[in-house]
Amino acid sequence: MRGAHAAAHDLVAGLSAGRNAPMNLNRYKISTRLACAFGFMALLVLVLGLLALRQLQAVQGHFQTLQQQHYPQVVTVHRIKALVLDSASAIRNLFVIVSEPETRRQLQRVDRLTQESEALLVQLQQASTQSEAQPLLEAVRQTGQTYLAARKRMLDTFAEGLLNEAGLILMREVERDQLLHLEALEALIALKEAQMQASGSSVEAAANSALAQTGLMLAVAVGMALWLALGLVRSIQRPLAEAGALARSVAAGDLTAHAPNQGRDEIAALLDALGEMQARLSHIVAGARQGAETLAAAAAQIAADNADLSARTESQASTLEQTAASMEELGATVRANAERARQAQALTHSASAVAQRGGEVVGQVVSTMGEIHASSRRVADIIAVIDGIAF
């Protein structure tokens, strides 16, 4: 719960910070930010609804005051005035009616209208709690009592059959008191109608105020929603753009690019993974470059060794040619020595036959042996050369 409160606080503070908002918001996961944003919007809608409900309740209160208090009182006062006029009309009818039943009916009508007007006046006095209406109500009550007293004297005189006296009381007292009573009722009607108009104006003003405040709150809510959405988009879009730029740089072969990671959200984890991938690719490329350099050096060494081997092979081939020539010369010498040995053997076999030529032959043999000795020394030299070549 504390983490959500801290995230919501940082959400508002981060968005208020402007350009530093992503750095503040990236400390929290995207899911946390979205949850806090939707929670904030839900709270904003709730506050907006409560304020609108309060305004509607104010309008309803003014309307109820108009409907349940002022308008019924205006209707009641008008009804009392109408009853007074109707009773006055019924009283005048008494002087033109000649039948007894009709006279009783008119008298009953006067009594009924009088009772109804008195009951309505009591009801009006109980319903009127405004201080400014009390003097007018008292004036209506007093003028009404004076009017009823004068009318009662006139009716009593009429009941005694004194029509002329009753007519004089009607014209001199009843009409005067009735006029005063009607003037008091008119004053009360004017007050009640003014109160009703004021209440209607209050209803209209409250409705206009509610409409204006609701519109203002809606505008503020929409502005805050756009502000919140912009902050969230910026806090998500910027790191994603950095991650995309890093991925494109790596794809283009630039392993030196770096995306700063200052958060702990999912995009920060993506940037960490991209950075680790970049480091590993750099290590692999460096290893491959080092291996290529080693391979190039080895290839150069092999080429040099091949050149040296080729030179040595050519030298060895020349030496072998010399050896072959020496062997060929040695073979010729050996063959010559063998031929000379056979000749010496033939000479030896013929020595006994030509003993008489012994001195001369011995000299020849000695000479031949000297040549053989010289040839043997040459053979020894050739063998020494072959040994030198071979070892």
Residue 256 lies in a domain: no
Residue 1: the pLDDT is: 45
CA distance 235 to 21: 7
Assign 19 a pLDDT band (cuts: 50, 70, 90): very low
Residue 259 lies in a domain: no
Residues 272 and 228 in one domain: no
Choose one of 249, 277, 312: the last residue of a domain: 249
Residues 162 and 285 in one domain: no
Residue whose C-alpha is closest to residue 185's, from 88, 265, 282 = 88
Residues 123 and 168 in one domain: yes
Residues 190 and 294 in one domain: no
Residues 238 and 278 in one domain: no
- Using an 8 Å Cβ cutoff, are 263 and 239 in contact? yes
Residue whose C-alpha is closest to residue 218's, from 47, 34, 12, 59 = 47
- Using an 8 Å Cβ cutoff, are 39 and 228 in contact? no
Residue 370 lies in a domain: yes
Residue bearing tokens 């995309």 = 244
DSSP character string of 295-338 = HHHHHHHHHHHHHHHHHHHHHHHHHHHHHHHHHHHHHHHHHHHH
Residues 235 and 309 in one domain: no
Cβ neighbours of 150 (radius 10 Å): 20
What pLDDT, in 10s, does the model give residues 206-228? 778 878 888 888 888 888 888 87
Stretch among 50-54, 81-85, 197-201, 356-360 having the lowest mean pLDDT? 356-360
Residues 243 and 303 in one domain: no
The count of structural domains within the chain is 2
Residues 237 and 325 in one domain: no
What's the predicted TM-score (pTM) here?
Answer: 0.46
Tokens of 342: 């056979």
Higher pLDDT, 152 or 359: 152
What is the domain range of residue 385?
A: 266-390
Residues 184 and 46 in one domain: yes
Residues 64 and 184 in one domain: yes
